Amino acid sequence: MRQSRRGQVDPFIVMDVMEAARRAEASGRHIIHMEVGQPSTPAPAAALKALGQELAEPLGYTVALGLPALREGIAGLYRRWYGVDLDPARVVVTPGSSGAFLLAFAALFDAGDRVAVGEPGYPSYRQILRAMSVEPVGMQTRAENRYQPVPADIPEGVQGVMIASPGNPSGTMLDRQALAALVERTQEIGAALISDEIYHGLDYGQRAVSALELTDDVVVINSFSKYFSMTGWRVGWLVVPPDMVRTMDRLAANMFICAPHASQVAALAALTPESEAEAQANLAVYAENRRMMLERLPAMGFDRIAPPDGAFYVYADVSALTHDSAALAADILDRAGVAVTPGVDFDPVRGAGTLRFSYARSSGDIAEGLDRLARYMAGR
Amino acid sequence: MRQSRRGQVDPFIVMDVMEAARRAEASGRHIIHMEVGQPSTPAPAAALKALGQELAEPLGYTVALGLPALREGIAGLYRRWYGVDLDPARVVVTPGSSGAFLLAFAALFDAGDRVAVGEPGYPSYRQILRAMSVEPVGMQTRAENRYQPVPADIPEGVQGVMIASPGNPSGTMLDRQALAALVERTQEIGAALISDEIYHGLDYGQRAVSALELTDDVVVINSFSKYFSMTGWRVGWLVVPPDMVRTMDRLAANMFICAPHASQVAALAALTPESEAEAQANLAVYAENRRMMLERLPAMGFDRIAPPDGAFYVYADVSALTHDSAALAADILDRAGVAVTPGVDFDPVRGAGTLRFSYARSSGDIAEGLDRLARYMAGR
């Protein structure tokens, strides 16, 4: 059968690591998972309880923009977290942040448009753009800029700029001033600004700044996946300027009909104080994991690491150790029994010299993983 | 903020009907819903029970192609329903059939390609294609061809042909011979054939024929929404040729990560004999509703109707009554208290002279709706 050119997106190299880890486990080995980008904890108990109680109802389609109570609840979160007074009409509930990217890219960009994406960055930005015939233009960000773009990094003539704070894989954040500079520059050049904020809530010192604190002329993307520990539920959201709501409504009705109803019910109950307390308890685990990582990784030789402001990743420059991070990751898995992610998926230019370590698992797992990594590095 | 041209898709006219019906209900009126395209019944009890038991597990991401057991279960359905021996590796689980369309169109077509779609037909085919910079080319199908395309309707130079049997809004089916002729013609011209089979299982005489019974060189789309009464759960699937699986895996991982995990758990349990018995009981209700519709609609003046082979719709040519089906639908809602769908969403050319009646609700509702319609037509 015929296939399109745009459908030929790059494979995830991390899949090779995950498959190798799976084989190792199938053969009886014990593997510590520092490659995964998701919590190991379940959705908040209140979310599961609320869904359990609704299961007897027919969970048909919701309206395209999402359950009204959920959109109100999300608007309330912006008040609580950022002091931003947000009209719930501007909130669009989507099938995960993945659905939010699809919707935003369809609403903002035509075929042939160019969109700047930070490198290193979440690889699916590039691949979804390509699958929609939009050209991603890599911005090679610098360690001294916390692997975040600065205005001078934004290429000429782009129609959009994609930012992420905290970033994946870097975990670094844009502070208010750095974010304001990017807002200003994108407005100057007439490019759409898309702010991926899916790791908000997972920060360890400074609170993450939402682009909505600075401007309404932005498309903000967030999700229940990370802070609320609901990855597999596939509920994300967009906040859009008021004049984009109608476009989003029409596009969402056609492209998705709606986000999964049962998941929306669970997500609504994730916004209760009880659920947020549970999310904060998970955050305390990540904070302890991060403390261990920052104490021990540099000592064992992973000493060129990005400032880990948020999320649950440490991004390390290992170019002094290897020019083939995929091979290094494979060797670490083989000899140390720790799965880590080579940087090639995140940065097509420098990723062969970087690794991403996730600390989303239990503290016991992380401590054991660090022990294994230390022995591995000592034996190199 | 800038907006794309392709994001400016058409509104659904039926939304106006639904909003008017909502307002009428809010003001205290009782409305019979013949506009809805979904069952009013919940997911099968076994599906809900299975999910209830899994809620304690962390429902993280599944692999991109879907839970292996679910893909096997779906392959088993092809054996039971059609006698087709299908490799589960060719099954791709998606976030609803909506996700399946997005994935299929990205994998098959580049920006600027042209895809033939039947008119009348499901409006989102056109809108999703446009949102992905692919040009939909309408095929005006004829009543004498059961509102289904025949090979001569397929325009020159298209890269794809979208078919649906049973069709929405027509409810008509392609028999084996008609389907074979379309398969042959698309292969002759090198176009990709996409077969939307989401109403399979909902047929009232002849069994619906799957394109997979005739060829492996097709992309088949189906879902748990209609026959299994799981619309809001958002679980659909694709069956693709073996050489497309890798492309689909990469695209799905980037575009969706995965279909909702909880919904996949429920869908898996919808494939049990117990659940299918429940689906068959729902089908018996639709069959009785259809019997009432066919007995009474012609007698009251809706006598030019498409052969209602399957799904839960009756599509009526009302061009002798009106040249503005949206106004007629509004009048029926206002004076009869019955919400019906004007044909304009389905057929941009002839839809101003057609209505779609859905009989997906309870038999009591349908009987009452028919009483009201009969009084309305008698009073015209």
> Which A residues 244-273 touch B at CB under 8 Å?
244, 247, 250-251, 253-263, 266
The confidence score (pLDDT) of residue A163 equals 98
Tell me the CATH number at A127. Answer: 3.40.640.10
Rounded Cα–Cα distance for residues B334 and B321 (Å): 17
Does B375 fall in a domain?
yes
Rounded Cα–Cα distance for residues B45 and B161 (Å): 37
A301 and A257 together in one domain: no
The confidence score (pLDDT) of residue B294 equals 97
Sorting pLDDT into bands at 50, 70 and 90, what band is B315?
very high
A126 and A248 together in one domain: yes
Rounded Cα–Cα distance for residues A353 and A336 (Å): 19
Positions of chain A with pLDDT lower than 50, given as ranges = none
A179 and A221 together in one domain: yes
The confidence score (pLDDT) of residue B65 equals 96
- DSSP code at position A211: G
Provide the mean pLDDT of chain B: 96
Does A203 fall in a domain?
yes
Shortest CA distance to A359 belongs to which of A350, A351, A349, A369?
A369
pTM: 0.97
Does A208 fall in a domain?
yes
Residue B155 in tokens: 């325009």
Q: How far is B191 from chain A (nearest CA, A)?
A: 8
Residue contacts between A and B (CB atoms, under 8 Å): 246
Sorting pLDDT into bands at 50, 70 and 90, what band is B79?
very high
A83 and A219 together in one domain: yes
The confidence score (pLDDT) of residue B255 equals 96
The confidence score (pLDDT) of residue A21 equals 92
B336 and B198 together in one domain: no
B91 and B239 together in one domain: yes
Instruction: Look at residues A248, A271, A294 and tell me which one is the last residue of a structural domain.
Output: A271
Q: How many CB atoms lie within 10 A of CB A269?
A: 22
The confidence score (pLDDT) of residue B16 equals 84
Mean pLDDT to the nearest integer, B62-68:
95
Residue A210 contacts residue A77 (beta carbons within 8 Å) = no
B284 and B309 together in one domain: yes
Largest CA distance in chain A: 60
Q: Is B36 a residue whose pLDDT tops 90?
A: no
Name every chain A residue with its beta carbon within 8 A of the beta carbon of B43: 58-59
The confidence score (pLDDT) of residue B380 equals 85
Sorting pLDDT into bands at 50, 70 and 90, what band is B19?
confident
Is the CB of B255 less than 8 angstroms away from the CB of A131? yes
A242 and A343 together in one domain: no
Does A213 fall in a domain?
yes
Rounded Cα–Cα distance for residues A208 and B255 (Å): 26
A37-95 pLDDT, tens digit per residue, is 899 999 999 999 999 999 988 899 999 999 999 999 999 999 999 999 999 999 999 99
Mean pLDDT to the nearest integer, B183-189:
98
Domain housing B313:
5-42+275-379
Is the CB of B131 less than 8 angstroms away from the CB of A251? yes
B130 and B197 together in one domain: yes
Instruction: Give the CA angle between residues B70, B74, B80 to the nearest 5°.
Output: 140
**Model ipTM?**
0.96
The confidence score (pLDDT) of residue A19 equals 87
Q: Is B244 a residue whose pLDDT tops 90?
A: yes
Does B51 fall in a domain?
no
Instruction: Look at residues A232, A255, A271 and tell me which one is the last residue of a structural domain.
Output: A271
> Which B residues 141-180 touch A at CB under 8 Å?
159
Give the helix, strand, coil percentages of chain B, each rounded to 5.
45, 15, 40
A159 and A100 together in one domain: yes
Instruction: Look at residues B240, B271, B302 and tell me which one is the last residue of a structural domain.
Output: B271
Does A48 fall in a domain?
no
Q: How far is B252 from chain A (nearest CA, A)?
A: 10
Residue A92 contacts residue A245 (beta carbons within 8 Å) = yes
DSSP string, A123-138: HHHHHHHHHTT-EEEE
Does A47 fall in a domain?
no
- The residue of B2, B90, B285, B312 whose CB has the most chain A CBs within 10 angstroms, and thus the best one to mutate to test that interface, is B2
Is the CB of B60 less than 8 angstroms away from the CB of A39? yes
Q: How far is A254 from chain B (nearest CA, A)?
A: 5
Does B240 fall in a domain?
yes
As for how many domains chain A has, the answer is 2
Is the CB of A256 less than 8 angstroms away from the CB of B95? yes
Task: Report long-range pairs for B368-371 (Cβ below 8 Å, ≥24 apart).
Answer: B368/B32, B369/B32, B369/B34, B369/B338, B370/B292, B370/B293, B370/B296, B370/B297, B370/B300
B102 and B163 together in one domain: yes
H or E element, residue A317: strand A313-317
Q: Is B15 a residue whose pLDDT tops 90?
A: no
- Give the 3-state secondary structure of residue A93: strand
Q: Determine contact: A52 vs chain B, CB below 8 A.
A: yes
Q: Determine contact: A48 vs chain B, CB below 8 A.
A: yes
Residue B113 contacts residue B134 (beta carbons within 8 Å) = yes
A108 and A216 together in one domain: yes
Which chain B residue's Cα is nearest to A40? B58
Q: Is B57 a residue whose pLDDT tops 90?
A: no
Say which residues have a Cβ less than 8 Å from residue B72's Cβ, sequence separation at least 6.
B88
Say which residues have a Cβ less than 8 Å from residue B280's Cβ, sequence separation at least 6.
none
